[in-house]
Amino acid sequence: MRILPFVLCSLLVLSSYAGQQEIIESSIRFEIKNAGVTVEGSFSQLAGTIEFDPANYPKSIVNVSVPSATINTGIGARDAKLKKAEYFDIAKFPSIRLKSRFFGKATEDNAFRGYFTLTLKGVSQDITMPFTVAKEGDHFRIKGDFTINRRDFGVGGKSFIMSDEVTLHINLLLTDGTKSLKKGSPLPPQSEHSRNIDSLNWIFLKP
C-alpha cells in the first residue's frame, strides 16, 4: 500500500496551487415588496471557497455561505421577527449556502452565467445567476442578480401582503487567483520520485 502516501502527497501539492481567491469585499442585498412597499435588506460575513478564472471558467468553483443571523433590514424589531421559525429560523438553519454546479459564457464581453444550488432553510434548489466580471487592479469585481420564490423555501408562510418574489444582488471584490498562482513558489526540480507521483496524478486524478 505504498501507493497511498504518493497519492495523498500529490493531492496536497495540487491543492496548494489551486488559485483560491480571497474575498476582499462582499455585499449581498435583497429586495421584496411587502404591502406594496419595497423592503431592502442584506446579509454579511460571506465566507467559503471561490476559484473563478474568466479565462478558464468551466473549471471554476464557488462554495460559499452567509450566517442567516446577519440579516439586516435597518429595523431591529423586523430583523428579530425575520429570524424566527416562520421566516429564516436561524436557530435551526444557521447558514444560507450557494454552491456552483457549472458556469457558461454569455454573449457580452466579461459576462457569464452561473448555475448554482441554493440551500436556504433546509431546502436546496437550482438557480441561475447572470453575472459580470471586471478587473480592478489586481482584483476581480463580480456583480450578479437572481430572483427566487420565497415560498419554495418556506420563508414567510402564506402571507398575502408580501410578494412571493425576492431579488438578490451580489457584489464581490476578489483577489486575482491566477496572479497568486503565478507568484507561488516554483515546484521543486523533478526527480524520479516526483515523476512517479506525476504518473499517479494522471491515473487517479485525470478528468
CA distances from 18 to 14, 95, 105, 187 (A): 6, 25, 22, 13
Rounded to 10°, the helix 192-205/3-16 angle is: 80
Looking at per-residue confidence, does 190 or 160 come out higher? 160
Report whether pLDDT(205) > 50. no
Report whether pLDDT(95) > 90. yes
**According to the model, what pLDDT value does residue 206 have?**
36
Report whether pLDDT(196) > 60. no
Half-sphere exposure of 165 (CA within 13 A, CB side): 6
Report whether pLDDT(78) > 60. yes
**According to the model, what pLDDT value does residue 180 have?**
42
Structure confidence at residue 13 as a pLDDT band (50, 70, 90)? very low
d(CA 50, CA 147): 22
* DSSP conformational letter for 87: T
Of the candidate ranges 4-13, 42-51, 164-173, the one whose mean pLDDT is the lowest: 4-13
Cβ neighbours for 175, distance < 8 A, ≥ 6 positions apart:
21, 22, 24, 138, 139, 140
* pTM of the predicted structure, to 2 decimals: 0.76
Task: Encode pLDDT of 128-148 as tens digits.
Answer: 999 999 999 989 999 999 999
CA distances from 86 to 80, 83, 109, 156, 158 (A): 11, 8, 42, 6, 10
Judged on CB neighbours under 10 Å (0-12, 13-18, 19+), 21 is buried
**According to the model, what pLDDT value does residue 19 have?**
62
**According to the model, what pLDDT value does residue 182 have?**
37
What value does the mean pLDDT of the chain take? 82
**Three cell numbers, residue 153:** 423555501
* DSSP conformational letter for 172: E
Taken in order of first residue, the domains within the chain and their CATH numbers are: 1-16+184-207 (no CATH), 18-181 (2.40.128.110)
Residue 115 bridge partners (DSSP): 102, 128
Report whether pLDDT(46) > 80. yes
Cα–Cα nearest to 32, from 153, 169, 163: 163
**According to the model, what pLDDT value does residue 158 have?**
82
